[in-house]
Amino acid sequence: MYMKYDLKLIKKELETLPKYNKQLYLQGYSKDMNPEEGADKGYDVDDIENEYIYNLFNIPYINNIIKENNLTRTRLMIMKPKSCYLWHNDKTKRLHIPVQTHEHCWLLLDNKKVHLPADGTAYVVDTTKNHTALNCSKIDRIHIVGALNA
């Protein structure tokens, strides 16, 4: 399942957000939640990700994408060059919207290498399977990632 969005408008809205280091929550468990809370703190929120339903920023186009796809715990994630995540699996599938990427940025999904280009396409990724992400480039990889909850 693939949807196409206006990447130029997404980037324009993202420019209004505060600077962040690794991830910035676009949805929270309360409207007053610190959008950087939980980023790299070492605790698992997969069991309560369906409680992350409150929009934290006035970004109408992106908030509409979140709503129309019934996303929760949506985040803006940055992956620095020459890095990767731990091999893991999530409790639900994820919707990925690549905002900035490089041909040498991949997901390893069930041992298959997948590149998601930043062309406005939103990808449903079955992250219930074992996976990781790799940035083998010299630029930041930036994705909007939300949990798909039925």
Tally of CB atoms within 10 A around 38 = 19
Judged on CB neighbours under 10 Å (0-12, 13-18, 19+), 85 is middle
For the domain made up of 2-148, give the CATH fold.
Answer: Jelly Rolls (2.60.120)
pLDDT tens-place string over residues 91-127: 999 999 999 999 999 999 988 999 999 999 999 999 9
For residues 54 and 68, give the distance between their C-alpha atoms in angstroms, rounded to a whole number. Answer: 14
Mean pLDDT score of the chain? 92
Domain ranges (residues) in the chain: 2-148
- When pLDDT is cut at 50, 70 and 90, the band that residue 38 belongs to is low
* Prediction pTM value: 0.93
* 97 contacts 130 by C-beta, under 8 angstroms: no
Greater pLDDT, 40 or 90: 90
